[in-house]
Structure 1
Amino acid sequence: MAETATVSGRAAEDAQQQDLRRVGIHPDFWYPVATSRQVRRGTVTAASFAGQRLAVYRTASGRVHALEDRCAHRQVPLSMGVVEGEALRCCYHAWAYRGDGRISQIPYLPKGAARPPRGVRSFPVREAYGLVFAFPGDPAKAETVPLPDLPEYGEGTHAAMRFSRTVRCHYTFMHENLLDMNHQFLHRGVLGRIQPTLLGYETGPDSVEARYLFTPAGGRKDRGAGLLSREGVGGGDSPDVVTIRTGYPYQTLHVVPEGADRPAFRLWAAYVPLDAEQRTCHVHGLLMIQKPRVPGALRLAWPFMRRFTERVFAEDRMAVEAEQRAWDEQGADHNQEVFPLILDLRTMLRSNGVPLPEAAAPCADGAACAGTAPERAAVTP
């Protein structure tokens, strides 16, 4: 009874706090805004972070820049422009911009006339793990904030599978979905019946980490699931230890099969809000899979693992988008959460987030004013 009373009290306290779906993600971190493959040499692409539109381009020398996606002249998107050498030209009047956002040339500017003193905002940019990261917050902090650490990426012992998907929900629903493994009933058609047991969890000012024991409980499992967890083509009935961590603002998951000393795979994910209301996010994920000892085996298994991960993600997206629609219809968070782990996660996400601007309030009819972005997927063995 004492435990039930504690959980009920925490749930009531959670309900009285600020609605988590009205908390914005903190901008003072590195967020992936494109894949390196998208930004080819001499090209420009449109990106977005929480309603801020970006023009991301690669110059002739191979450097990547990100500018505010508007020309200072007539506000036409610079993502419609043309890369010439090291400059980005607006498609309308050919005003040229340097990587720092300053105007380098106005073709028809009269001799002796002063060039406009201000250009557009530039964003610090870094490339890693096949992704282009931008720093949308205070640029003075960019040098001191590290990129996510993914030691397995690029190692000869692992292969990387990349995911890029738009999901119409607040980014916090994604954190809750992955950390709360009690929802495995949703994946019964893909994973079979799984009995998840919470082994324990730890919380900190900017992190929550949980460990589960996954015990098979019958049912048919997707072939790709067995291959991904190193059970083989026929699958298996041995349990796995699954560790999930939200280390703000990213999330990781790794699976260690019974009897193994290293994870079979690691997943890293970032949920990047696209619109000002942050009711739509773009998921950038990297799945790092340990290569088997048999040469060429991973290449043969790759399509099955890809199909499995796509099926699981599709079911999760269905659920979180349904949660967002319920929030839109009700105009507030009416969730009746009882799991202490998720209550602690919500508290951590609130404390690390920032208030949404007043202008980013939901639409008058209660629906989200969410923008969308085209879905992109890239998988590289």
Structure 2
Amino acid sequence: MKYVDEFRDPALVAQLVKRIDASAARLPSRQQPWQLMEVCGGHTHAIFRFGLDRLLPDCVEFVHGPGCPVCVLPETVIDQAVALAQRPGTLLCSYGDAVRVPGTGGSLLEARAGGAAVEVVYGPRDALELARRHPDKDIVFLAIGFETTAPATALALQAARREGIGNFRALCHLVLIEPPLRALLADPQLCLDGFIGPGHVSLVTGTRPFDFIPAQYRRPVVISGFEPVDLLQSVWMLLRQLEQGKACVELQYRRVATTSGNSAARAAMEEVFEPAPSTEWRGLGSLPHSGLQLAPEYRAFDAAALLEPRAATGAEPGDPRCGCAAVLSGRMKPPHCPLFGRECTPATPSGPLMVSSEGACAAWYQYRQESADDRR
């Protein structure tokens, strides 16, 4: 508890709030607030859990970014996973959040209720162990996530290849953090003044994927931890850069992350994966070189090879009123979506941002009751 208390110390929080207020007061006044995008969904939940957004001055606000791996899953990937789960002799393994993401024909959870074989696992090692125990079945792991989770999938596939486990496969939708940020910064309709970088991704990548932001767009970046003191200190560090007219990548999360990242994790990724020509993102469309696919030596483990061409189901796409795409790209706040808290709730989600434990809509719903101010 001493460790946690240190990063939730009310005295430190109050001190940082004073520093933030002082720095914000020295920024040039303008009609639009200074917008700081927290890229990671874990940061979003911490912000709302601890009410950190309410500690900021009116001229500074958080903007939610596309750093939740479940939230950026396109419907096509869910549809593929459902088709595999319904395939005779196949067991589809998934992280818990992903089983509730709706596809065009329903979610994995709904498919399981209809008799499909779906197992919730903590990670690829659990799925690999199921493949060892059930050699008569094709065990498919739905591999999603950013650079944070890609090494674990790579290690599991390396073990499967080494042990000759031919019934273990991965359906990959592993994505990279840099391309979506490039897409957002290139959008003239968005005005993002700084970025709170994802601490967990940086454990693997280091700070290199964020160097282009200050170099090309003159925006500051601070890689942050996940406790209240971490996030408030990161806000202050960003405002200090803006106040001084500087733009660089700073590392607040020094107790865990380093500028160089984890070379062993990256080596495993480089052996097992290669850049995909293009990858589909919910809300951002198809982005070139934004995801990973299995390298030639590992193509035998590609679960997509088990899929057969299927006729169109005639299923309708998700509700066009759903604001998930706008929220995860920083264009909308969750309570401004017409479905939020009404037709779209954790029990009846219309999109992935209400499903994921890192989704912005789930954070707003869980930690904040809607108010008139939220709908301005």
TM exceeding 0.5 = no
Q: Greater strand share, 1 or 2?
A: 1
- TM-score (normalised: structure 2): 0.23
- TM-score (normalised: structure 1): 0.23
- Structure with larger Rg: 1
